Amino acid sequence: MKKTKKIVSVILVIIILTMILSIHTNTFAYEIEEDTDYIWLKEEISNVSTDPIKEPKLSSRYALVLDRDSKAILYSKDENKRVPMASTTKIMTAIVLIENLGVNNDFTLNTQIEVCKQAGAIGGSRLGLKTGDKITINDLLYGLMLCSGNDAAIQIAVSIGGSVEGFANLMNQKAEELGLKDSHFVTPHGLDMPEHYTTAYELALIADYALNIEKISEVVKTKTYTVAINGNSKTITNTNELLGYLNGVNGVKTGFTNGAGRCLVTSVNRNGFNIITVVLGADTKKIRTKDSISLIEYTYANYERIDLEQLINEKFNEWRKINEKRINVYKGKKNNIKVKLGDCKYKIYPIKKDNINDINIAMENIQINFEAPVSINSKLGNLILSIGENELMDIEILTNENIERKGIGDYIFECLENIRY
């Protein structure tokens, strides 16, 4: 009987341990980086590059291509759905770190800190920190963005925000500052939490903002880097499989959790044409890689950056030469008035090559008669730029000077001039 009870107890312990391990695994799902088959990667790049014209058919659940200059969306798939984003969270972590150095603290990138117990104990992808280790904030940043260290993320949060919760508040404040409506942060590392989410679109905006910070831009394009932990060197490698293998790729961040699936945010610059691609919810690393390549090659094959500002100015100047003298100002000290254009929202804009000939610029709602006084920047009409039937810009045509109303003296002077001649 005692032997039976002992066996039952052992079985129960095994079941409980299995359950605990299962919970732990689900909670701390992380970037277990599959061995990257770079032969396959090169073949995939070659395959996609030779047939890039068709619109991509993606397996990833959510995707987006963002033009960095105009912020135009060039491709999207369910881009506004709130979803978990795994370690791509660390893009925001890096932003908050850089922008809070020296704010209510004396930290710089060269400041050496001691690793706390919470950072030393965190699971998932790690830089390899233990409680009590000494490391600089600069090396924490590289560990955060290259090898996706959750331990680095926790230590950054505790050092900068005082706690994970305090740092999450800073992350959400930054999200609000950036005008993000569908992003909310609970952790600095991105492990699955119910209230931790973003969208493909807003994640692209976060990445775009981050890349404007010189230090972050420098870090995310780094393939390998050597950090120092307790004075001992350790070389780490960037988890971004496209970095160094696909033309123009210069960032940004990978991610994986059970809830988020495989994720990849990629920045690319080819001849000044800067884009960000986002794929979220891919089932495998190969799928996220293939989908990212497809989006990148599709974009560069099908879109061309057009100098719309130049086209607009040329068209407007032609119109002004013919029409400016036709604008009458009654009872004004001048009979005609100079005009100008308001602000051009998009200067350089990516347009599908098939649609370039469909660009149309027209002047509409033009007012040609005014009664003085007329103030500078009074609206005279609109310049409308359309691509096919889709209106892209509505620019106000404005007066470019003040015209005062004639006084009695002006009329007397006119009469005398008329009498003279």
Contact (Cβ atoms closer than 8 angstroms) between residue 185 and residue 168: yes
In degrees and rounded to multiples of 5, residue 95 shows phi and psi of -60, -50
Largest CA distance in the chain: 134
How is residue 122 annotated by DSSP? -
3-class secondary structure, 253: strand
- What is the dihedral sign for C-alpha 393, 80, 45, 240? positive
The span from the CA of 74 to the CA of 351, in Å, is 9
For residue 52, the surrounding DSSP H or E stretch is: none
How is residue 403 annotated by DSSP? B
How is residue 405 annotated by DSSP? B
Specify the length of the chain in residues.
421
The span from the CA of 34 to the CA of 32, in Å, is 6
The count of other CB atoms within 10 Å of the CB of residue 112 is 11
Q: Could you tell me where the DSSP H helices lie in 212-281?
A: 214-220
How is residue 274 annotated by DSSP? E
Compute the chain's Rg from CA coordinates: 30
How is residue 406 annotated by DSSP? P
Cis peptide before 188 (omega within 30 of 0): no
On the 0-12 / 13-18 / 19+ scale of CB atoms within 10 A, 291 is buried
Closest CA to 312 of 215, 218, 383, 225: 383
The two beta strands, 369-371 and 328-330, are: parallel
Residue whose token pair is 């104990």: 121
The span from the CA of 87 to the CA of 207, in Å, is 13
Active site residues: 87, 90, 148
Cis peptide before 329 (omega within 30 of 0): no
C-alpha distance from residue 50 to each of 138, 248, 287, 296, 378 (Å): 41, 17, 19, 13, 53
